[in-house]
Structure 1
Amino acid sequence: MKKLLATAALAVAIAAPAAAQTRPDQAKFFELYKELVETNTVVNVGSCTQAAEQIAARMKAAGFKDDQLTLFSTPEHPKDGGLVAVYPGTSKKAKPLLLLAHIDVVAAKREDWTRDPFKLVEENGYYYARGTADDKAMAAAWADTLIRFQQAGYKPKRTVKLALTCGEETTWAFNGAEWLAKNKRDLIDAEFALNEGGGGKSDGHGKVLVQSMQVGEKAVQNFRLETSNPGGHSSIPVPENAIYELADALVKIRGYDFPLELSDTTRAYFAKAGAARSDAMGKAMVTIATNPGDKGAETLLNTDRIYHSMLRTTCVATLLEGGHANNALPQRAAANINCRIFPGHSSEEIQKALATAIGDAKVTITMVPPVRPIAKPPALDPKVVGPAEKLVAKYFPGVPLVPTMSTGATDGIFLAAVGIPTYGVPGAWGDPDGNGVHGLNERIEVRSLYTGRDYLFDLVKAYAEQE
């Protein structure tokens, strides 16, 4: 998914703190994590419902009562269920905190992988299997945190809620986070939520370069471009050709750049990340944060594909179809355009912008379901960012915490749409190559998993003590 961290250029680095599975609580956590990773939760193949039930059983064994645990699914999607758990706080004034994680994973074929993708294997300091990083590490850490609270008899001021959901990895699937937001808003009500999307970036050799906190994300929307024509025999061609008309439209989209924009998050990112660099790119980053109209700075930043995407809405052709026979003029041609929409803009706005860029009424542009809500970035709230920054300084001395806007997408967009600001938290880190997330041989560094777990436990406690 979805977790492109625009952080590779930051220069500060430290050795990642050591963490080994030596404490009794780590061994218990590993049991939960291993069971979750080895439960196949690929849509239409595995079962998120089974995984949610297994976690609920562990929470009940730890002392959670039935009325604190809500297992949910729909008759139409019995295997795409999830779990909401509620750990009560003592304050009548403090609003709840929500912990969100998805438990579904991207498909993985055994014949393509070096190891069985649904058997957790430890090799050379890494855990390998589908979901070891995305997103079962976070799901296991959240569930483990509440189990530890229960076993310790901890009494937080805030109520802490947990929502484990299915459907994040598959656009057309039943989405548990969206369903909860629309149908069980009171159950998941919270002042703010913690989610995936943040985290650390290492140099691939054991040094953490930066930690990030996702404060906002783009909205994903697909559009179908289509052209049609009566067609005819290919031996007597005419200029009005559906494939040519579609191709002309695609060339115009390729050449169109949406206007540069900054949010509070991206402005803070470019200022802070740019100040950490001593090259021309760093200077351009600082410049654009203070003067978005500087064309020289924009031109240089646009040479970096991540920065280019962070500065605007982007749309790109991803699928193509056309024609019906080798010896016939095409009667129809179509393409899918995948857009990542900058926060604050609707899908309808982008549809109109594409139509203007193409400038050909013969090209129809339709939104492909599902239609995502408008992305609403949360505030750079010191009440949220402050504790995360303080704990980054504790766990990763000298490493900056940088606010980022994800150019990908998470289920946080559904919570934001119903008034629950959602933040992607720091903690565990990944390597520059992406750790095989969504690809082959997905992995997470063992130290990253256990250190990230400890970081998240402390972070939840910090928020739980707030009034």
Structure 2
Amino acid sequence: MTLLEDETVRMCAELIRIDTSNLGDGDGPGERAAAERIMEWLGEAGLSPTYLECSPRRGNVILRVSGTTPGLPALLVHGHLDVVPADPRDWTMPPFAGEVANGWVWGRGAVDMKHMDAMMVALVRDMARTGLRPRRDLVFAWLADEETGGDHGARFLVREHPGLFEGCAEAIGEVGGYSLTIGSDLRLYLVETAQKGLAWIRMSVEGQAGHGSLPHPGNAVTELAAAVSRIGAHTWPQRLTPTTRRMLREICLACEVPFDEDDIDGVLGKLGPIARFIGASLRHVANPTRFHAGYATNVVPEIAVAEIDGRFLPGLKDDFLETVDRLAGPRVSSRHIDDEDAVEVPFDTPLVEAMLASLQVEDPRGRVVPYCLSAGTDNRTFHRLGIHGYGFVPLRLPPEVDFAAMFHGVDERVPESALRFGVRVLRHLLSTY
């Protein structure tokens, strides 16, 4: 499979060199150039993908590969083409140079998530070249705009072109499948089976404007600042969902640590560095992120506005919103500026069993473990079509690598060996499941 692996590395580097920075509000170069390059690669293999955009330069590419077994549900395999911005002054290597050096592929998007985009293209080309046929239909989707919610990508396609995903029952996408090393030679591969919901909330307090030299007990800034402080300082209790309960049990078993649901802090204290990764998935989070008011230092403004980034656990949305409202207090008005429901899908499924079997072809001692992502991906959007999404981009990583920190981080990079491992695992999975 040398050609397949070599193409994956080469295509990953080339996609990184195409700047697809998503600046939000329609700004940035867009994904069209990367989408067109993928179209060219697929065309070279004799394939005819579909190109769609809902606004200029925001490119999406869709390709359906027919399976050999009629009646099996289709599998959606998706990745996004946009990346978050990068300041070259902070990087060891230029973020859009796509350097392959010292066993690593460097650049913005190497992890999030042009490595998966490249694996997908290389796999489809390999299928066309070798005549390999999957058992079920595979729908490959290279998407725009995931980093700012998917209005030009997944949301657009689900709303305007749902027929592209006809028959899809499950999906695999980003933020899962990479290894955590336990002990000397045991790796856990984290399969994302749940995502927190999103509630972006704009809060405001209105009062009476006045001169800054006079006492002003109804000061809108003071009232809102107190509310924001209460929300930001609140300690949310730990809550286990089916995914996080199973995750902790599996990790404790691998680490030979007793699992005690009544003493989660004690359990985390015995798990070492992995506890930091787990922590955010055990509780709601509400972070104040913006605050603005007034137009002059000597004028008490009549309105103050703040924004909260809220992430709530699956099944506990009402608990989260009721707590935020209580902490805000009666004078604060709130409205939601973006909402996404939390999702949680089963772990004990034939697809997960196939993931494990494919991983163990390459890593016989590997195990799979479910986890809850503290953020969200396009899987949450595809869930609206009844598609159960899993985070699975298989990578066998060196034990010392803090891979989670690479997402949106400076010096983002992925081991070349992990790319080669990942495309072999995906080839096995997509050809046998």
- The answer to whether TM tops 0.5 is yes
Once the two structures are TM-superposed, the CA of residue 156 in structure 1 deviates from its matched residue by 2.5
- Measured in 1, the distance between the counterparts of 2:18 and 2:312 equals 34
1:456 equivalent to 2:426? Answer yes
Residue in structure 2 matching 1:60, options 43, 54, 66: 43
Q: Which residue of 2 aligns with 1:47?
A: 30
1:51-86 deviations in Å (ceiling 9; x for gaps): 11211221121121x3xx111012xx2211110001
- Measured in 1, the distance between the counterparts of 2:372 and 2:58 equals 29
Once the two structures are TM-superposed, the CA of residue 442 in structure 1 deviates from its matched residue by 1.2
Residue in structure 1 matching 2:377, options 406, 410, 427: 410
1:391 equivalent to 2:361? Answer no
Residue in structure 1 matching 2:160, options 183, 189, 196: 183
Q: Which residue of 1 aligns with 2:281?
A: 310
Secondary structure of 2:192's aligned partner: strand
Q: Which residue of 1 aligns with 2:339?
A: 371
Residue in structure 2 matching 1:321, options 282, 292, 317: 292
Task: Write the mapping of 1:287-298 to structure 2, written as runs, cut at 5 A.
Answer: 287-288=260-261, 294=262, 296-297=263-264
Once the two structures are TM-superposed, the CA of residue 302 in structure 1 deviates from its matched residue by 9.9
1:404-434 deviations in Å (ceiling 9; x for gaps): 1111111100011220000011511552164
Secondary structure of 2:72's aligned partner: coil
- Aligned residues: percent identity? 25
Aligned-partner residue type, residue 24 of structure 1:
L
Residue in structure 2 matching 1:265, options 225, 233, 243: 243
- Measured in 1, the distance between the counterparts of 2:216 and 2:35 equals 59
Once the two structures are TM-superposed, the CA of residue 102 in structure 1 deviates from its matched residue by 0.4
Cα 1:265/1:446, change in 2 over 3 Å: same
- Measured in 2, the distance between the counterparts of 1:32 and 1:306 equals 30
- Measured in 1, the distance between the counterparts of 2:9 and 2:264 equals 47
Check whether the contact 1:376–1:417 (CA below 8 A) recurs between aligned residues. no
Cα 1:426/1:32, change in 2 over 3 Å: closer
- Measured in 2, the distance between the counterparts of 1:381 and 1:184 equals 31
Q: Which residue of 2 aligns with 1:444?
A: 414
Check whether the contact 2:189–2:368 (CA below 8 A) recurs between aligned residues. yes
- Measured in 2, the distance between the counterparts of 1:208 and 1:198 equals 17
1:138 equivalent to 2:116? Answer yes
Secondary structure of 1:338's aligned partner: strand
- Measured in 2, the distance between the counterparts of 1:380 and 1:324 equals 53
Once the two structures are TM-superposed, the CA of residue 337 in structure 1 deviates from its matched residue by 0.9
- TM-score, normalised to structure 2, is 0.89
Check whether the contact 1:221–1:339 (CA below 8 A) recurs between aligned residues. yes
Check whether the contact 1:199–1:427 (CA below 8 A) recurs between aligned residues. yes
Cα 1:393/1:23, change in 2 over 3 Å: closer
Q: Which residue of 2 aligns with 1:170?
A: 148
- Measured in 1, the distance between the counterparts of 2:104 and 2:56 equals 34
Once the two structures are TM-superposed, the CA of residue 255 in structure 1 deviates from its matched residue by 4.6
Cα 1:213/1:354, change in 2 over 3 Å: same
1:25 equivalent to 2:16? Answer no
- Measured in 2, the distance between the counterparts of 1:127 and 1:435 equals 16
Cα 1:242/1:306, change in 2 over 3 Å: farther
- Measured in 1, the distance between the counterparts of 2:131 and 2:84 equals 37
Cα 1:114/1:459, change in 2 over 3 Å: same
Root mean square deviation of aligned Cα: 2.6
Cα 1:255/1:116, change in 2 over 3 Å: closer
Q: Which residue of 2 aligns with 1:353?
A: 323
1:7-62 deviations in Å (ceiling 9; x for gaps): xxxxxxxxxxxxxxx92333333333232221111133323122112112211211
- TM-score, normalised to structure 1, is 0.83
- Measured in 1, the distance between the counterparts of 2:114 and 2:225 equals 41
1:70 equivalent to 2:50? Answer yes
- Report the number of matched residues: 420
Q: Which residue of 2 aligns with 1:275?
A: 253
Structure 1, unpaired ranges of 5+: 1-21, 289-293
Residue in structure 2 matching 1:126, options 101, 104, 119: 104
